[in-house]
Amino acid sequence: MASSLAVINCSQLVTLSGPARPRVGAELRELSIIADGALLVAGNRIEKVGTRDEIERLIENSDADCEFIDAGGRVVMPGFVDAHTHPVFAGTRAGEFEERAGGATYQEISARGGGIQSTVNATRAAAADDLVEAGRRYGEWFLRGGTTTVEAKSGYGLSLDDELKILRAVKRLDEETALSYVPTFLGAHSIPPEYRSRREEYIALIINEMLPGVAREKLAEFCDVFCEENVFTIEESRRILSAAREHGLGLRMHADQLSLFGGAKLAAELGTATADHLEHTDAEGIAALKSAGVQPVLLPGSVYALGSTRYPQAREMIEAGLAIVLATDFNPGSSPTPSMPMVLSLASTHMKMLPSESITATTVNAAYSLGRGDKIGSLEPGKLADFVVHDCDDYRDLAYFFGIEHPWKVYSGGKQAFAR
Ligand code: NIG
Ligand code: FE
């Protein structure tokens, strides 16, 4: 036995072991917790989970060297998988945040060239190294909060070179840091000002140059589109996503965030992996997602940070049997938080999700939405040893105590990535 690491004395080993597919309905509440549990790691993978007694006996009967971590009666869980983030950008939007605090709306600021466009201006002007540097800082924030994998969208470049610059930065962050990144091309995040009077040409640029360039360099696994009034129409979104599929990319969509625009229905028609946001999606849209097997990715951090009260209909989606995912939407405008525990808190207080449901939605279901369900998202033999020792003895504390950092130690691929 090539054992290297044993984590013992876990008050709750929250394994989320279960069927090898995203969880729905009552399954969302089944965390497969082992009381007084222990975890055995061999190299970068999970070798075995069990009670402390079982694991200790296994180690006694083997002659391999084993390092022990005493979790001290804490909760041990899979690392969070954050399936929707925009983590590579230059500058911040603290000034706009202050304006919004003074009464301006997100849409007003965007209409006068602020919003996404102000981050695009800063990101275009930034050197690749500076984007990686900023990304490293945010990457540490994710790890400190117990997140070990993030989906990472481009979308603040909006030219071939600048979109490639962002995706190459994502690649470097994935290779050079302990956080794992799943890259998504979001050239269709906004129409840049130089194309405002000729949007058709921007769509052509995405389809004829950006997508082939991204695919050639294998810089993205998914393609996303911001489908919304005054951004990309249903027809434009359909064309871009269909072209992306031709290049072998998986599909995701910003859908029905600011209005009931038909995004969820388009996601269902195209059979995308996910439809994200869904604050305005109605019963018909929910039914369409269900029949197409699309996973909803709900982002309460952006609802909160925009000062809105229109949270997505999580309970209706769970009732309908959707394999719900929760994520941060970390970005400099609508959701400047990398904190999954904050998302858990919002999901319980504003969306009536049980802490158990939210934990499933931020781990195993999120992993499946990224095509990584066989590798991460639960503590099962053979999966990557991405796990977190949280400084509490009851998993519900993660949603209950909010505004604090819970992790005591974070491991990525069996290696310590953060320790308090
Ligand atoms: O998911 N909806 C579009 N994109 C982001 C906001 C990006 C920004 O404001 O910079 C979102 O909310
Ligand atoms: Fe987003």
- Give the residue-averaged pLDDT of 303-332: 98
Whole-angstrom distance, CA of residue 407 vs CA of residue 396: 14
Which residue owns the Cα nearest ligand 1 atom 8? 333
- Give the residue-averaged pLDDT of 348-367: 98
Shortest-distance atom of ligand 1 to CA 119: 10
Using the mean position of ligand 2's atoms as its centre, give its distance from the Cα of residue 94 in Å.
18
Whole-angstrom distance, CA of residue 358 vs CA of residue 352: 10
Using the mean position of ligand 1's atoms as its centre, give its distance from the Cα of residue 82 in Å.
15
* SS3 of residue 112 by DSSP: coil
Please report which ligand is nearest the Cα atom of 82. 2
> Residue 82 forms beta bridges with which residues?
150
- Give the residue-averaged pLDDT of 87-93: 98
pTM of the predicted model, to two decimals? Answer: 0.98
Flag whether pLDDT at 1 surpasses 50: no
Flag whether pLDDT at 353 surpasses 90: yes
* Count of other CB atoms within 10 angstroms of residue 315: 13
Which residue owns the Cα nearest ligand 1 atom 6? 334
Whole-angstrom distance, CA of residue 48 vs CA of residue 37: 11
Using the mean position of ligand 2's atoms as its centre, give its distance from the Cα of residue 327 in Å.
10
Ligand 1 pocket by C-beta < 6 Å: which residues?
86, 115-116, 119, 226, 254, 257, 302, 329, 331-335
Shortest-distance atom of ligand 1 to CA 277: 1
- Give the residue-averaged pLDDT of 26-32: 98
pLDDT digits (tens, 9 = 90+) for 204-262: 999 999 999 999 999 999 999 999 999 999 999 999 999 999 999 999 999 999 999 99
- Give the residue-averaged pLDDT of 44-61: 96
Query: Strands, E, within 300-373: which ranges?
Result: 325-326
Flag whether pLDDT at 2 surpasses 70: no
* SS3 of residue 262 by DSSP: coil
Flag whether pLDDT at 3 surpasses 80: no
In a mutational test of the pocket of ligand 1, which residue from 82, 86, 226 has the highest number of ligand atoms less than 8 Å from its CB?
A: 86
Shortest-distance atom of ligand 1 to CA 156: 10
- Using N-to-C axis directions, what is the helix angle for 263-270 and 283-292, rounded to 10°? 10
